[in-house]
Amino acid sequence: MNTKKMMTGLLAVAAVLGAGIAGGYWLAEHQRMAGPVASVVTQKSVPPAQRKPLYWYDPMAPGQRFDKPGKSPYMDMDLVPKYADEGDDNGNPTGVKIDSGVVQNLAIRLARVERKPFRPALEAVANVVFNERKVAVIQARSSGFVERVYDLAPGDVIGKGAPLVDLLLPDWAAAQTEFLAMRRSGDQELAAAARERLKLLGMSAELVARIEESGQPRPVITMTTPVGGVIQTLDVRAGMSVGTGMTLAKVNGLESVWLEAALPEASGGQVGIGRQVDIHFAAYPGELFKGRVSAVLPENNADSRTQRVRIDLPNRNGRFRPGMFAHVRMDVGEATSALVIPTEAVIHTGKRDVVILAREGGRFQPVEVETGREADDQTVILKGLQEGQQIVSSGQFLIDSEASLQGVLTRLGADSNGMPKQGAGDAK
């Protein structure tokens, strides 16, 4: 008997504990749902039984009203009720209403539509490439053999006059011996003719002078670079035979380099030859460099829809190396007064541009706008906004999502009969 009573008591205690846990869980959930997050749209806090719908509508065609619930004649979906506290005095939607505490928690930032001086500019990324106008090609001027290749390789940076290879040129040696013989004969006319022949064979005036001074032929010639820069190619080895006109090496000068920038196709016509460009390199933070547009290349990139622009950049200290990336900016017009907003405030849907307008009473309304040029993180507004209005510059996608659920954005694409225009459903 005592055992039976003990079991009965344990069951009663377990039942009380279970009820307490369930009640506590329900109370916590109720308090959580009653917090600010649950009241994002405060108009929904009114019990449905106390709210009388003005009409019913299809979110895909919000301009068409129905006097009773049912299925939409346009889409296979239920009609949505529209209440008086969801719109203006005529029942027209005025966006969504968000609790001020939630606005603060979501870090939604507002900005003012301003009219101020705006100077159009183009910004793009660019990369450093060799200046192809500064290429020196070193060739053999006579047939011969490679006696020596100096300890160099492609990619090495060398100075002007640096030796590259030693060539043994038999034809030059024979011509030099003939010249020295004519000079010793005392016949000035024959000596002058022999000297001219040396020059025609490709010998420099400096080499001819050294031969005259020493009185000895110089069959081995050291080929040097006429410019300082980077060795691009060096395709000879000791013991090779070379022919007249054979390329021995190519050297690209580094006293200036090119920046190649890819500009949007629509902006290519605003760039002219000689326009000054401001240049910033990630490798040199805080430093501003200047360059000038030297060429607008005639061929566009069909894949990226961009136009290549070439910028000349002095490189006297050799700080800029091919392959480096830079950010370039160029002004393309005079400063004019314009209505501007932060660029980040514009929502690009693909077929239209939308801005979230902040109204009184915590309401937010999507507004279709027509945008103009962009510069310095500012966008010109041509139509849709007025000076002094408040817009959402950060967090607008959270508001946009709620507005889309209510069909507010799709209303921008509805015609006068309430039927959606073509593409009206692309508000997102």
Mean pLDDT, rounded, for 315-343:
82
| Structure confidence at residue 138 (pLDDT) | 93
Residue 288's pLDDT band (cuts 50, 70, 90): very high
**Residue 96 reports pLDDT greater than 90:** no
Which tens digits make up the pLDDT trace of 6-54? 555 544 444 544 544 444 444 444 434 433 333 334 444 445 556 678 8
Residue 60's pLDDT band (cuts 50, 70, 90): low
Rounded CA separation 370/412 (Å): 13
Q: Spell out the residues 6+ positions from residue 231 whose beta carbon is closer than 8 angstroms to its own.
A: 152, 153, 154, 155, 156, 157, 158, 249, 250, 251
Residue 417's pLDDT band (cuts 50, 70, 90): very low
**Residue 167 reports pLDDT greater than 60:** yes
Q: Spell out the residues 6+ positions from residue 274 whose beta carbon is closer than 8 angstroms to its own.
A: 292, 293
Q: Is 139 exposed, middle or buried (0-12, 13-18, 19+ CB in 10 A)?
A: middle
**Residue 264 reports pLDDT greater than 60:** yes
Q: Which residue has the higher pLDDT, 311 or 24?
A: 311
| Structure confidence at residue 51 (pLDDT) | 66
| Domains, the chain | 38-83 (no CATH), 96-116+336-426 (2.40.420.20), 122-131+254-331 (2.40.30.170), 141-246 (2.40.50.100)
Q: Spell out the residues 6+ positions from residue 408 whose beta carbon is closer than 8 angstroms to its own.
A: 62, 93, 95, 96, 365, 366
**CA-based R_g, the chain, Å:** 40
Rounded CA separation 313/277 (Å): 10
Rounded CA separation 113/126 (Å): 32
**Residue 218 reports pLDDT greater than 60:** yes
| Structure confidence at residue 29 (pLDDT) | 44
| Structure confidence at residue 100 (pLDDT) | 66
**Residue 89 reports pLDDT greater than 80:** no
| Structure confidence at residue 325 (pLDDT) | 92
Mean pLDDT, rounded, for 270-284:
85
The answer to whether 292 touches 311, Cβ cutoff 8 Å, is yes
| Structure confidence at residue 1 (pLDDT) | 45
Q: Spell out the residues 6+ positions from residue 49 whose beta carbon is closer than 8 angstroms to its own.
A: none
Helix H, strand E, coil C: the string for the chain is CHHHHHHHHHHHHHHHHHHHHHHHHHHHHHHHHCCCHHHCEHHHHCCHHHCCEEEEEECCEEEEEECCCCECCCCCCECEEEEHHHECCCCCECCEEECHHHHHHCCCEEEECEEEEECCEEEEEEEEEECHHHEEEEECCCCEEEEEECCCCCCCEECCCCEEEEEECHHHHHHHHHHHHHHHHCCHHHHHHHHHHHHHCCCCHHHHHHHHHHCCCCCEEEEECCCCEEEEEECCCCCCEECCCCEEEEEEECCEEEEEEEEEHHHHHHCCCCCEEEEEECCCCCCCEEEEEEEEEEEEECCCCEEEEEEEEECCCCCCCCCCEEEEEEECCCCEEEEEEEHHHCEECCCCEEEEEECHHHEEEEEEEEEEEEECCEEEEEECCCCCCEEEEECHHHHHHHHHHCCHHHHCCECCCCCECCCHHHCC
Of 373, 382, 288, 387, the C-alpha closest to 334 is 373
Q: Which residue has the higher pLDDT, 129 or 5?
A: 129
Which tens digits make up the pLDDT trace of 361-408? 777 888 888 887 777 777 888 888 888 888 888 776 666 555 554 555
| Structure confidence at residue 23 (pLDDT) | 46
Rounded CA separation 357/405 (Å): 17
Mean pLDDT, rounded, for 269-273:
74
